[in-house]
Structure 1
Amino acid sequence: MRQVPLVQQVADQFRALIESGEWPRDTRIPGENQLAAELGVSRGTVREALRSLSLTGLLEPRVGDGTYVRATDEISGVLLRDELSSLDQVFDARAGIEAAAARLAAQRLSSEGIKTLIAAIEARDAAHDASDLAAFVIADSAFHRGVVEASGNPILLRLYDAMAGLLAESIEQTASFPEHPQLRAAHLDVYEAICAGDPDAAARASYALIETVKQSQ
């Protein structure tokens, strides 16, 4: 069997630390000397492994300040690294993923999925009433992810999670208090169409929700 190069082995270990959350996003990782000592490899090996992850956008070296975790997934890493996405493009991507997910969620209705969406709506309402932007972003993100998770399609969920940082930013940039009543109603339309088991209505409601958010900017 072909032996995996040492640099790749070390890079895979670092990637696992990022994906597990042991190295959280936006935090500085240990220095090269410390990592080399902990792994029992040369500093040059560590440097090359870190460089390979920087090229994928997972890590970001900052001159004089160390290396930081920039993303937890290669897809989001590339998007952040290359600054490929405008807010409208993020909305367009959300619309495609969420509408497909809503259609599937309506077909695969489950009590667990409904509970997740109800909890997210209630948390969203509470955060709105308290004018708590941070909590509102978390709750609104949980609702949209809940729709994708309810689809039962792991590929859609992986794509959605890869864009999680961009999605949260889009919610934060467009949220306002008090919220226009039409926005809350649009979220409820998605929820009710899924609960009704109507795939076409769920997809339409999901597209309409994103359009409503875009128009509210």
Structure 2
Amino acid sequence: MSLVRQVPLVVQVSEQFRGLIESGEWPRGERIPGENQLATELGVSRGTVREALRSLSLTGLLEPRVGDGTYVLATDEISGVLLRDELSELDYVFDARAGIEAAAARLAAGRPSAGRIKGLIAALEARDAAHDASDLDAFVVADTAFHRGVVEASGNPLLLRLYDAIGDLLVESIEQSASFPEHPQLRAAHLDVFEAIAAADPDAAARASYALIETVKQSQ
């Protein structure tokens, strides 16, 4: 016989809030509804809501600001803790990206896939279109898709999991480093990565990927 344990109400509410964060209904950087409103909507006490929000603040997903409410800091715990503990300095993020992306590019070039190559082409084309339209939001989405596509093309699920774990920091680093018009060297550096992977040249792909991140850093 197994015991049936009732999940505490605070945990239920916390998980519901977590779902809103992960789904994007509560977007990163936005202020969430106040405690009174949330308590009314859920039919629970304000104290329950407060404890649920506090638990998510401790994990780095939410950030309470005195006199200004509570904001979504990150969509996953790892990025949240890094942001909360001030480990999200741009140079740190770029160094982490360089290590993961160079390793992924080497693997991707060693096992090129026609489908994934097409995905990288589509991301580069979307990136160019967004740049020409000076559409920062679309540019960030396309650039993120390209870099994540390289890691996905590695075929290594652990690398992809690690990369996704710093997804918020990745997006933030792209947002902070993007500028229009983009320096021609940056577009060329992205093409170098793609061409090395498409040519099935692991060493060249790793070098190009590392050089791309260094080029981005130097353009700041």
**Would the TM-score normalized by the shorter structure come out above 0.5?**
yes
How far apart in 1 are the matches of 2:178 and 2:39? Answer: 44
Query: Which residue in 2 is equivalent to 1:150?
Result: 153
Q: Residues 171-186 of structure 1 correspond to what in structure 2 (within 5 A)?
A: 171-186=174-189
Is the CA contact 2:75–2:168 (under 8 Å) kept in the aligned structure 1?
no
Q: Kindly, what percent of the aligned residue pairs are identical? A: 86
Query: Which residue in 1 is equivalent to 2:51?
Result: 48
Q: 1:93 aligns with which of 76, 89, 96?
A: 96
Query: Which residue in 2 is equivalent to 1:19?
Result: 22
Give the aligned residue type for 1:130: A
How far apart in 2 are the matches of 1:46 and 1:216? Answer: 45
Instruction: Say which SS state the counterpart of residue 68 (structure 1) adopts.
Output: strand
Query: Which residue in 1 is equivalent to 2:13?
Result: 10
Distance 1:153-1:36 versus aligned 2 partners, 3 A rule: farther
Instruction: Say which SS state the counterpart of residue 93 (structure 1) adopts.
Output: helix
Query: Which residue in 2 is equivalent to 1:77?
Result: 80
Distance 1:26-1:173 versus aligned 2 partners, 3 A rule: closer
What is the CA RMSD across the aligned residues, in angstroms? 2.2
For residues 142-168 of structure 1, what are the alpha-carbon distances to aligned partners after superposition, in whole Å with 9 as ceiling and x for unaligned?
A: 211111222233332333233233223
Name whichever of 52-61 and 133-142 sits farther off.
133-142
Q: How far off its partner does 1:92 sit?
A: 0.3
Q: Residues 48-67 of structure 1 correspond to what in structure 2 (within 5 A)?
A: 48-67=51-70
Matched, 1:190 2:193: yes
TM-score norm. by structure 2 comes to: 0.86
Q: How far off its partner does 1:3 sit?
A: 4.5
Instruction: Say which SS state the counterpart of residue 61 (structure 1) adopts.
Output: strand
Distance 1:37-1:181 versus aligned 2 partners, 3 A rule: closer
Distance 1:11-1:95 versus aligned 2 partners, 3 A rule: same
Distance 1:168-1:67 versus aligned 2 partners, 3 A rule: same
Long gaps (5+) in structure 1:
none
Q: How far off its partner does 1:187 sit?
A: 0.9
Distance 1:47-1:173 versus aligned 2 partners, 3 A rule: closer
Give the aligned residue type for 2:23: S
